Structure 1
Amino acid sequence: MRIRELVNLTLLVLMSPLVGYEEAIRLIGDNVELTKGGKALLTMARHYEQSGISYDAYFEFLNQRFSNMVEDWRRMSSEVNLSVLMLTTALIMLEALMIMLIGAGLADSILVIAPLMLIPLIHVNQLKLYDYDYVKPTVIGFASALILYLSTRSLGYTILAFSLGFSILYMPQFLNFIRLITNLERKIMEPILELTWNPNPREITGSSIIEREFSRIRDIAYSIGAPYFVTRAARVVDSLVFQIRVMFRDNVVYGLLIPINYIALIEFLKFINSTISATAVNASLASPFNYHVPSIILLASALTTSMLTGKVIHSIGLGLSIMCLFLIPLLTITPIRM
């Protein structure tokens, strides 16, 4: 769901009891009546207007329905993240078992990249809150990768260089987003609340998506000016901002759990290495493992884990930036030559 759709639905909840749902649709525009959430709210609004209920009851019923929709959407996002976590855990366990019994092959490669197919599902259920410039980080990343590849001819170090180069220009943008998400109340709620008491209230400033969209609610509340409308706008926005912050918190929690599986795989491979080394010392003992893990398999596992981690937390760009953290542990596994 887009933040613009959420704001459109918020305006529909606020304005339908005031001017009627048909006039609200005209004022909001943006084909709000064609969205799934818009259709659900408009169906209820039509019945409420036909029943002739009071303005207060009209708003309360519509707002409750909207709150339930946002809560269901947040719960769906958490369920998707949980599914990703469970799937990656199961695949890592199966991958480790296959390495131990039959070695790494084509089937193992498929297991490694299979979780990437979940990225579109994550994207659909994830709220886009910030615009990023991907062009400059990508250019720096490819330039760094090219320089290192020409120097080392190593795929692993080349990808590592790309990740470091990409993160140089991406991470400052991500830190700006973190500052924004941790100060949503001050940046969004306070300018709306000031409409109730400040003769010269502040505007919602900033160029991020969430600031631009919520400024529409503030501007409409300012133009109407009625205290009952402003307080209701503040109430709905406060609930929505809370849900957005809770969703981001859940994404961070689930995202940080995903690398645990990858760390377990690396530690498992280190254990196998130590077992093989001990077996080699005593020639009378045969190795219990059919151990052969191509470097490309572990590289793919590192890339897949970093991409999923970054996307679940926030974005693909974050996954590309933290990729270096997943590649560095591979350098400690002695059989790997990258």
Structure 2
Amino acid sequence: MNLELLAEICKTPGAPGFEQKVREIVIKEITPLVDEVQVDNMGNVYAIKKGKADKRVMIGAHMDEIGFIVTHIDKNGFIRFHTLGGFDPKTLTAQRVIIHGKKDIIGVMSSKPIHVMTADERNKVAKISDYFIDTGLSKEEVEASIKIGDPITREREFIEMGNCVNSKSLDNRLAVFILIESLRALKDKEVPYDVYGVFTVQEEVGVRGANVSALKIKPDFGFGLDTTIAYDVPGAADHEKITSLGDGTAIKIMDAMTICDYRMVAFMKQTADKHKIKWQPEILTAGGTDTAGIQRMTDGGSIAGAISIPTRHLHQVIEMANKDDIQGSIDLLSACLTDLQDYDWAF
């Protein structure tokens, strides 16, 4: 497994709407692997591999990570921000961030110290609005490099822990990596239908890139590719786990935005079993992925499903995934793309 590439993708900043640096890596990696590369007006990247028959299959893997945007710089140089994507406020405490202005500036998330809180304040859950960013610079120094509207991402190294990887932004740089490696695995193989591997933008703020991409491609078949919750931790009941690390790649049945096509779910299970790929079912009752746009944003819809990568501690800077589950996701996506024509898709 090319962990050097995965680490590079994870550490590269790409808040929603500001994915350009991730896009550069993607284009460099996929250009030798496919027949054609396109970029649309929103910044979605299309890796196109021609197939034998006149049908289209779309895979969506979003490039963006949750982040922030600068909204105010006060008289002392402290920065206020708005979130881009979903955050649990308590995960901001004591974190470093990077403000991407004329040059990158390191800052720290801070809030009122516990030493000067009232008893009532100590017992309240922190709100996003309680936090500010301290760069250690004066207002004049901050404004020399940073302006309102500049994106902010979180700072954390990529490391290995046992048979796992741990980093910020595994959601959804894992999927970016898996789609690249699947295209690499298929480079010298024939596929039955035209494959559109789409590296999408702005998923974390409403599946915006996938919607646009599906309108352009008009896919007959579709696969979302994203992380999912692995709640296999102390205190979790068996029925709450959703997925578990090391139990295989996950085949999505539904989430809050998509009920996957029952034919696609059956096909994916059959394909996994045929190729001896370890898998587990996934039902996520909250949240959604690019699968929703792929399924719905075309005339008549597409036959869509999703491959999900079990991940602990989602939307934190310590996201964790199992290497075997990552490899299984590459193997399952590659197998599905080569075996699509072998399944009876009739109702």
Give the greater-gyration-radius structure (CA).
1
Structure with the higher fraction of residues in helix conformation: 1
* TM-score, normalising length: structure 1: 0.22
* Greater share of residues in strand: 2
TM superposition score normalised by structure 2: 0.22
